[in-house]
Structure 1
Amino acid sequence: MKAKKPGRALRVADQIAKDLAALIPVEVRDPRVGLVTITGCEVTPDYAHAKVYFTVLGREPEECAEGLNAAAGMLRNHLFKNLRIHTVPTLHFTHDASVAKGFEMDALIKRAMAETPAGER
C-alpha cells in the first residue's frame, strides 16, 4: 500500500477544523456547549482519529468537551457528506489551554515591565 503524504493529512485536518467551526454553532444544541472556537485539528496518518482543539467562552472547558464529544458522531456524519475521503476520522475534542497560558504569560510580562524602573529596561 502506498504511504499517505503528510501534506494531505494537514489539508484534511484544516478542512475538518473549518467545517466544524461552521457546523457546531448551527447543529449542536447541547446546553453544555457554549461559544466554541476551533483552534486546531490533528489527524492520524491513517485518518482514523482526529484530535480537535477548542476554546470556549462562558462555560467550563471540561463540561463543554463532554457536550462536544457527545455530539461527535452527529458532527462526523455531517463531515462525511462534505469531505472527499474514504474514512472520516473519529472526532475527539480537547480543550486548548495554550490561549489561556498565552494570556497568563502576557500578564506576567506586563507586570514585570511595570515593576522594572524605566532606566533598567
Structure 2
Amino acid sequence: MQRSDRVGDEIQKVVADLIQNEIKDPRLPPMVSVVEVRASRDLSHAHIYISVLGTEQQKKDCAAALKSAGGFMRREVARRVRLRVSPELHFVFDESIERGIRMSRLIDEAMEGISPDDSDS
C-alpha cells in the first residue's frame, strides 16, 4: 500500500467526520457519504468521491455547501492528518450507488413480468 493510499484513507475518515459532525450547513442532505478518497502521489490534491441520495436540487445544494466549506475542511484535514502540504480538495459525485439501485429496480420489474411457469424452461 502506497503512502498516498494511506493518506487517502485518513482523509476519508476526517472528511466524513467533518460532514457528519462539524459542518452545520442546512444545504447538506442527511444522506451524504464519502465513498472514496484518491490522493495524488505528491499529496497536493485529493479527489473526494461523495454519494448523495436525494433529488437533483439536493445534489446542487450539497455541492454548494461543500464548496463553501472547502477551506475549513482543507485546514482541518491538514491539522488532523498532520501533513506538511495541505491537499487541495476536489469533490466528485459518485453515481454508482444510485446506478445500482436503478439496476435493482429494473431487475425486480423484469422478474415481475415473468410468470412462475416461464422460469422452469
SS at match of 1:46: coil
State the secondary structure of the residue aligned to 1:65: helix
- 2:63 is matched with 65
Does 1:40 pair with 2:36? yes
Write the distance in 1 (CA, Å) between the matches of 2:27 and 2:68.
10
CA distance in structure 2 between the partners assigned to 1:119 and 1:85 by the alignment: 63
> 3-state DSSP class of the match of 2:43?
coil
Unaligned 5+ segments in structure 1 are 1-5
- Range moving further from structure 2, 110-119 or 37-46: 110-119
TM-score if structure 1 supplies the norm length?
Answer: 0.83
TM-score using structure 2 length:
0.83
Shift of 1:57: 4.4
Q: What is the one-letter code of the residue matched to 1:118? A: P
Q: 1:93 to 1:107 in 2, by over 3 A?
A: same
Match of 2:2 among 3, 7, 27: 7
Give SS of 2:111's match. Answer: helix
Rounded Cα–Cα distance in structure 2 between residues aligned with 1:118 and 1:85: 60
User: 2:117 & 2:19 partners in 1: Cα distance?
Assistant: 51
Pairwise CA distance, 1:117: 2.8
Per the alignment, residue 106 of structure 1 pairs with 104
Q: Please, which of 88, 93, 104 is the counterpart of residue 86 of structure 2?
A: 88
Q: How much has 1:85 moved relative to structure 2?
A: 2.8
Residue aligning to 1:3:
none
Other-structure match for 1:75: 73
- Report runs of 4+ in structure 1 exceeding 4 Å deviation: none
Contact 1:69 1:91 in 2 (8 A): no
**What is the total number of aligned residue pairs between the two structures?**
116
The aligned residue for residue 113 of structure 2 is 115
CA distance in 1, matches of 2:66, 2:4: 22
